[in-house]
Structures are given as C-alpha cells and as structure tokens.
Amino acid sequence: MTGLFDTHAHLYDKAFDKDREDVIARIFKTLDYVVIPSEDLETSQKAVRLADTHEGIYAAVGIHPQVTNGASDEVLAEIAHLAKTHDKIKAIGEIGLDYLYTDKDTQKYWFERQIQMAKELDLPILIHDREAHGDVLEILKRNADSRLRGILHCFSGSIETAKELMKLGFYISFAGPVVFSKSIKLKEVAADIPMDRLLIETDSPYLTPPPYRGKRNDPSNVLLVAEELARIKNMDVQELIDITRENAMKIYQIHQ
C-alpha cells in the first residue's frame, strides 16, 4: 500500500528523539505526506523546522486548548508571523476545547482568537474537541463564513454532530480509536461519513491502534486506520487511501 496521508502526527514529540530521522525515512516508504500539528510556540517552531527540512512533511501552528493558560497576544503574534513566513505551514492547529481540563472560559477565548487568526491568514483550522462537542459547534457556527474551514481531528462525536460540522465546511478525521473492537458506535458514525469528507490520521505518538497497543505510535500505522475504514465501508483499501489523500491535499491546499 502506498500514497497514505497522515493528517495529524506529532513528530517533534520526545518519543521520537532517539530515532526521528530513521522513523521519517521509514514512513515515507508507504506515505506521501504527513502534517505535524503543534501545541504551543515551541512545538510550532519544531514542527516548522521538520517541515522545512523534509519534502513530504507539512506543519500546522497554534496553541492547544490544554495549554491556553500560557497564551498571550505576543505568543499569538509570533505564531501568526511563522505562518506568514513559511509556505509549508498549511493550517492553524491544533486548537479547540478540552473539557477534561479546567478553565473553559480561557480555552474558549483562545479558540475564538485563533479561528479569527486562521481566517485572516486564509488557512484551515485543526480542531481538538474532547467532551466539548456542543460548545465547539456553537463557536464554529458563530464564526462561520466562506473562509472558515478545517478538520475535526480524532473525531469522537455523533453522526448528528458530524453532519453539522460538514455543513460548516469541515472534514472528519479518524485515528486509532476507530480500530478498537469496542468502538462500535464510532464505527457506525464512520460508515455514514461521505467519502469526500473523510480523512485518516494517527495522532502519533499517541492512540496506537491494535495490534500494537502499548507501543509508540508512528505514521506508518495510519494504514491500520485505512484498512479498518475500508472494511467498515466495504471498499478497496487502496481506493480509500487514494480518496483520503486527495481530500487531505484539498483541505491543506497541497499541490503536487
């Protein structure tokens, strides 16, 4: 299988410090592209450096909801400057809401600021949504216009939520959890996502799918997500890989 596109992998993570270049060389035997999302200014700079030095790697820059307590106007301005000065930055993210963490108001404030920034930069957004489906939708609806678009990463919501997101111009991305045998509901949701809105990702080094659970995840395992979705949708794996790659290239505006 070839031509895979992992739309979300944290390749700057310390889990890859010992063998990052080996991993990158290996994954490009089966992948064409990887997008590295960021969590703060430091990881944004790391993601951009990796993108600038590897052909198939692109980056997203932004402040993750779990660390919005450390956000400031200065940090946001530096992130915007990165995005303006690096062609390989293709999105703002990951941004969003994570209600396993406190301070919802701070999270909402910086989510909305970064949505506005993405629109000014004419870039899509990568959304992290944990236990916050209602508020994420509400904020997106309030900011909806022709410039708002993006990806709901590691989708875990209902088909109703997915439909609302797709109406607003969003793509739905599935990661390792859709492979877990206990994820019966999530598989049903995936079955109902139209092929022209479907994306695949790993969220490496997290969320390792079976049969490698407990081990470090890396982008080559996006094949396991593709295989499971092809099984759910009763279609050829290579066809699913090709369609999800085309979708990802479209939303990230990557031209061959």
Residues of the shown chain interacting with Ni ion in the complex, contacts defined by CB under 5 A: 203
Closest distance to Ni ion from the beta carbon of 31 (Å): 17
Shortest CB 218 distance to Ni ion, Å:
14
Nearer to Ni ion, 6 or 203 (CB): 203
Q: Which residue is nearest to Ni ion (CB)?
A: 203
Q: Nearer to Ni ion by C-beta: 7 or 220? A: 7
Tokens of 252: 């990230």
d(CA 221, CA 208): 8
Contact 170, 200 (CB under 8 A): no
Angle, vertex CA 140, rays to CA 135 and CA 142, nearest 5 = 95
**What is the residue whose two structure tokens read 């031509």?**
3
Closest to Ni ion by CB, 58 vs 255, is 58
Helix axes 133-142, 104-121, angle to 10 degrees: 40
Helix (H) or strand (E) holding 25: helix 20-27
- In angstroms, give the least distance from the CB of 120 to Ni ion: 24
* Cβ pair 223, 1 in contact under 8 A: yes
Residue 37 CB, nearest approach to Ni ion (Å): 5
Closer CB to Ni ion, 148 or 207, in the complex: 207
- Name the minimum Å distance from CB 255 to Ni ion: 25
Residue 194: asked if its preceding bond is cis (omega within 30°), the reply is no
Decide: helix, strand or coil at residue 3.
coil
In the bound complex, what is the minimum distance in angstroms from residue 221's beta carbon to Ni ion?
Answer: 14
Q: What span, in angstroms and rounded, lies between the C-alpha atoms of 41 and 125? A: 16
Q: With respect to Ni ion, which residue has the nearer C-beta, 36 or 140?
A: 36
**Cβ proximity of 165 and 140 under 8 Å:** yes
CB of 109 to Ni ion, least distance (A): 21
Nearer to Ni ion, 12 or 28 (CB): 12
Q: How far apart are CA 109 and CA 210, in angstroms?
A: 37
DSSP 8-state code for residue 204: B
Residue 103's SS3 state is: coil
* Closer residue to Ni ion in complex, CB, 132/238: 132
